[in-house]
Structure 1
Amino acid sequence: MTHRLKRLLVPVHDAAAVDAALPRACRLAACLGSVVEVLYLRGIAVDRVLLGEGAPPAALRHRLDEAEGAEDRRMAAAQAAVDLHSGTHPGTQVRWRVAAGAETAALARHGRLCDLIVLPRHRGNATTVHGPQFNAALFETGRPVLLLPETGDALPVSRVAVAWDGSVQAGRALADALPLLAGAESVTVLRVSDDPQDGEAEEVVAYLADHGIAAAARRVAPAGSVADTLRAEVAAAGIDLLVMGAYGHSRLRERVLGGVSRSLLSSAPVPILLAH
C-alpha cells in the first residue's frame, strides 16, 4: 500500500496566518505531489459584538455592521495573501475555502477529510499551541498535525528524528509520517532511556526497513528532562523535522505537572509532526 499525503489543510483566520504557513505548505506539497487547501475560518459577526444590556436596536445594528465589515476586510486580505503566495508556487494547486460559524467545529469537520493539517505558530495567532484551533486539529480530527515554528524555512525536510516512547500516540505519528520519512535523506529513531538493554529503537528501525526506509537507532540517557534531552539531540544533529506522539498523558496532567508534549511544543525551533 502506498502511503500518501495528498491533501494538506491550512486553516487560517487572517493574512498573518496565511503568510506564516502557506509558503512552507506549498513547498512541502510540491515534494509530495499534494494539493493545499486553505480553509478560512470566518467568525460570526454577532459573536464579535458586545450586546450591552439595554442598548438601542439601532446601536446594536451599527455595531453588527461594523463587525461584518471588519470581517469582510480581514477575509479579503487573507484571500489576497493566498493569491500572492499561490502565484509564487505555480506548480502547486491551492484551493480556497471559507467555513463560517464556530471555528473549532468547522476545523474539526474539514480536518477529517484531509491527510495533514499544517498549523503556523506565531505571536498573536489563535493557532498557537494550546489554542482552540490547535486543540481542534489535534484532538478532534484524527489526523496528524504539522506544527510550524515561528520562523524558518525548513520545509521540505531532509533530516528527520522520530521520538519513540512506545506509546499509541508515537505509533500513530510514525505511521502518519511514513511519506515524509521515505523522502528524507536521513532518519534517526531517538529513544530516551538509561537502560543499556533497551532495544525499542532498533525495533522501530526494523519496522521502517519493511517500508523501504533506512533509519538509524540512537538511545540516549536522559540529561535533565526528556524534553530537554530531545531538544538537545535535535539541535546537535541538525534535525529539521521531529516526529512524535502528543499527549500520552491527559492534557490536565500535562498542564499541572508539565510534560514532554507541552514543553517541546512551546519552544521547539523545528517543525513537529504530531499525532494523538
Structure 2
Amino acid sequence: MSRFPSSPLAALRDILIGSIVEGEHDPIPPAIGYGLSLAEAAGAHVTIQSASWCLVGSDAWLQGTTDEGIGVIDRRLDALARAFAEKAAGAAAQAGLVCTWEAPSLPYPEVVHRLAAEARLHDLTVLDLDPVTEVLSRETIETTLLASGRPVLAVPRAYQAFAGRRILVAWDGSLQAARAANEAMPLLRAAEAVDIVSVGDAEDLLTTVPGAEFARHLARHGVAVTVSDLPQAGSIADTLRTHAGVVRADLIVMGAYRHSRTQEFLFGGATRSLLKNPPVPLFLAH
C-alpha cells in the first residue's frame, strides 16, 4: 500500500527503471535514484533492469582484441550492472518498496529491445539521458518510447531525485502532445503548478487546438493550470528551455516525434534538440 494513499501519484502502480552499462567506469545511473524516489512517492512496485552491453568479436572497434580479452570485459560489465541492480534493490527495500530486478548481458541491439519489451508491462519507464553516451542513450530512449507504446521519463545526470512541483507541458495541439499530457496526469495532478506552453505566432496557434481549451480538460481533473502562448525565440526547443528556466520547472511533459525520426535527423526538431540538451527531466510519449 502506498505511503501516500491520497496522492494522485498513487495511480502509478508499476515503474520500470532501466540502465545499460557500457563502460567499466560508468557511475551509478541517475535514473536509479530518480526512479526510486518517484516510486517511493507513488508507493509503486519497481522493476530494475540493469543491463550490460555484451561485446562481440564482430564489432569493428574490437578488431585485434582476443576472445579471451572480450570475455574479461564482458564479465566486468556484467558484474558492474549486477552491482547497480543489487544496490538499487537494497535501497528500494529500505524505502519499503516491492522490487524485482534483472541484469541481462546482451549484444547491441538486443539489449535495447529487451528494455523496450519490458517497458510494455509498466506504467512508466525511467531512463538515463546522458550526453556522454549520447548515441546509445538516445537510441535507448527512442526505441523504448516508440516500440513499447508507453511513456518514458528521461533523466539528465544532474537530477538524482524526483521533483514535480512545477511542470511545463509543451502543447502544440498534436495527438502526441495530448497523449503525453494525459499519460502524465498523475504527475500533473500532484504538481503545485502546471504551465501549458504553446510556441509560435498567432497564425500558427489558430490552426491547432488552443492550449486554453486543453487547460479546461486538465482543470476538470483537478490540475492547477495556467496557459502561456509564447512567440518563438530561436528554435522551439530554445524557447522551451528559456521558459523552463524562467518558471523554474522541475519537469517538461511533451509529445515526442510529431515528425518522423528521419525528418528530425535531417532537418532538426524539438524532440531531438531537447534530448541533446535537456534543461530538466523530460516526460515523453508518442
- Give the one of 36, 41, 44 matched to 2:46: 36
Any runs of at least 4 consecutive aligned residues in structure 1 with deviations exceeding 6 A, and if so which? Answer: none
Q: Residue 129 and residue 64 in structure 1: after superposition, are their counterparts in 2 closer, same or farther (change >3 A)?
A: closer
- Give the one of 243, 251, 254 matched to 1:233: 243
Comparing 135-144 and 191-200, the one that deviates more: 191-200
CA contact (8 A) 1:192 1:229 kept: yes
The reply on whether 1:7 has 2:17 as its aligned counterpart is: no
Comparing 70-79 and 102-111, the one that deviates more: 70-79
TM-aligned CA deviation for residue 228 of structure 1: 1.2
- Equivalent residue letter for 2:170: A
The reply on whether 1:221 has 2:231 as its aligned counterpart is: yes
Q: Residue 193 and residue 13 in structure 1: after superposition, are their counterparts in 2 closer, same or farther (change >3 A)?
A: closer
- Equivalent residue letter for 2:165: S
Query: Deviations for 1:140-170, whole angstroms, at most 9, x for unmatched residues?
Result: 0001010111203461310011100011111
Give the gaps of 5 or more residues in structure 2: 1-7, 61-65
**Structure 2 Cα separation of the partners of residues 77 and 263 of structure 1:** 33
The reply on whether 1:141 has 2:151 as its aligned counterpart is: no
Matches within 5 A, 1:29-178: 29-44=39-54, 47-50=55-58, 60=67, 62-63=68-69, 65-83=71-89, 85-86=91-92, 89-101=94-106, 102-125=110-133, 129-131=137-139, 133-153=140-160, 155-178=162-185
Larger radius of gyration, structure 1 or 2? 1
TM-aligned CA deviation for residue 171 of structure 1: 1.0
SS at match of 1:190: strand
Q: Residue 128 and residue 13 in structure 1: after superposition, are their counterparts in 2 closer, same or farther (change >3 A)?
A: closer
Q: How large is the Cα RMSD of the aligned pairs?
A: 2.7
The reply on whether 1:212 has 2:217 as its aligned counterpart is: no
**Structure 2 Cα separation of the partners of residues 99 and 154 of structure 1:** 25
SS at match of 2:11: coil
Equivalent residue number for residue 244 of structure 1: 254
**Structure 2 Cα separation of the partners of residues 72 and 237 of structure 1:** 42
Q: TM-score, normalised by structure 2?
A: 0.82
CA contact (8 A) 1:38 1:94 kept: yes
The reply on whether 1:179 has 2:189 as its aligned counterpart is: no
TM-aligned CA deviation for residue 16 of structure 1: 4.1
TM-aligned CA deviation for residue 98 of structure 1: 3.4
SS at match of 1:13: strand
TM-aligned CA deviation for residue 91 of structure 1: 2.7
**Structure 1 Cα separation of the partners of residues 262 and 111 of structure 2:** 23
**Structure 2 Cα separation of the partners of residues 175 and 50 of structure 1:** 44
- Give the one of 186, 194, 205 matched to 2:201: 194
CA contact (8 A) 1:172 1:275 kept: yes
TM-aligned CA deviation for residue 64 of structure 1: 6.1
CA contact (8 A) 2:173 2:211 kept: no
**Structure 1 Cα separation of the partners of residues 58 and 165 of structure 2:** 49
- Give the one of 257, 272, 278 matched to 1:262: 272
Give the gaps of 5 or more residues in structure 1: 53-58
Q: Residue 207 and residue 39 in structure 1: after superposition, are their counterparts in 2 closer, same or farther (change >3 A)?
A: same
CA contact (8 A) 2:134 2:276 kept: no
**Structure 2 Cα separation of the partners of residues 23 and 91 of structure 1:** 15
**Structure 1 Cα separation of the partners of residues 274 and 19 of structure 2:** 23
Q: Residue 71 and residue 203 in structure 1: after superposition, are their counterparts in 2 closer, same or farther (change >3 A)?
A: same
Count residues with an aligned counterpart: 265
Equivalent residue number for residue 56 of structure 1: none
TM-aligned CA deviation for residue 268 of structure 1: 1.5
CA contact (8 A) 2:165 2:191 kept: yes
TM-aligned CA deviation for residue 68 of structure 1: 4.8
TM-aligned CA deviation for residue 252 of structure 1: 1.1
**Structure 2 Cα separation of the partners of residues 134 and 51 of structure 1:** 23
Equivalent residue number for residue 31 of structure 2: 21
CA contact (8 A) 1:19 1:81 kept: no
- Equivalent residue letter for 2:20: H
CA contact (8 A) 2:130 2:137 kept: no
